[in-house]
């Protein structure tokens, strides 16, 4: 795991993303932290966690999701992946009836509140810009193919190909692997969009 993290870190932050000034580096770091804390909250059987443990884990997830949202708006897609996981897994759906995940969402939104306020005061300009980037051109299969290939080159093929391989492997073991389901559902919405 440590070697994988080191290779990804060096490849993404120093070779591709590190060459330009972009918010992707902080986004990846913050989503990683949010994912770890969310996994600590949802992967164990809820009955095995103490009340204090579940509150701490969910609030830490909310903290890092809020910071990730400040870094880059698409962090919200990963949050939707958490919701999708909770909806898909019948044994984890009970979290939707408990206050901890909703407190995490409230904390994330409270942290993101400065961006919301700024946008409200400026005619929602950054939301309109970001939302209009993909929607204004329509769907063109050739553009989609070029975009996917371009992202593969941008991320670096030695990272992108194993990431796709792991996603497919996790989807193939769907019923036997709760961790795989969790990771695949966190990733699927941003990938599809």
| Cα separations in angstroms, 113 against 23, 43, 102, 144, 165 | 18, 29, 16, 33, 37
> 79 with 108: CB under 8 angstroms?
yes
Nearest-angstrom CA–CA distance, 32 and 30:
5
> 69 with 27: CB under 8 angstroms?
no
pLDDT for 70 beyond 60: yes
Q: Residue 33: which pLDDT band, with cuts at 50, 70 and 90?
A: very high
Q: Residue 13: which pLDDT band, with cuts at 50, 70 and 90?
A: low
Structure confidence by residue, pLDDT tens digits, 102-149: 999 999 999 999 999 999 999 999 888 877 765 555 666 777 677 777
Helices (H), the chain: 2-9, 24-42, 51-71, 75-88, 99-121, 125-135, 141-155, 157-172, 178-192
DSSP symbols for 19-74: GS--THHHHHHHHHHHHHHHHHHHSS-GGGS-HHHHHHHHHHHHHHHHHHHHH-TT
pLDDT for 8 beyond 70: no
Q: For the chain, give the number of residues.
A: 193
Nearest-angstrom CA–CA distance, 148 and 191:
9
Q: 144 CB contacts (<8 Å, ≥6 apart)?
A: none
Write down the pTM of the prediction: 0.80
Instruction: Map tokens 């992202």 to a residue.
Output: 151
Structure confidence by residue, pLDDT tens digits, 72-89: 999 999 999 999 999 999
């Amino acid at each position: 795991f440590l070697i994988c993290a080191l290779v990804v870190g060096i490849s993404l932050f120093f070779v591709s993303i590190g060459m330009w000034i972009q918010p992707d580096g902080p986004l990846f770091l913050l989503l990683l932290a949010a994912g770890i804390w969310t996994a600590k909250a949802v992967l164990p059987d809820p009955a095995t966690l103490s009340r204090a443990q579940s509150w701490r884990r969910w609030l830490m997830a909310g903290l890092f999701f809020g910071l990730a949202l400040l870094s880059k708006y698409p962090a919200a897609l990963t949050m939707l992946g958490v919701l999708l996981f909770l909806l898909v897994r019948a044994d984890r759906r009970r979290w939707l009836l408990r206050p901890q995940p909703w407190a995490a969402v409230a904390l994330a939104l409270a942290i993101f509140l400065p961006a919301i306020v700024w946008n409200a005061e400026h005619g929602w300009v950054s939301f309109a810009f970001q939302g209009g980037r993909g929607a204004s051109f329509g769907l063109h299969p050739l553009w989609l193919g070029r975009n996917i290939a371009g992202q593969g080159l941008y991320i670096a093929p030695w990272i992108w190909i194993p990431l796709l391989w792991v996603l497919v492997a996790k989807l193939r073991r769907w019923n036997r692997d709760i961790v795989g389901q969790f990771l695949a559902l966190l990733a699927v919405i941003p990938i599809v969009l």
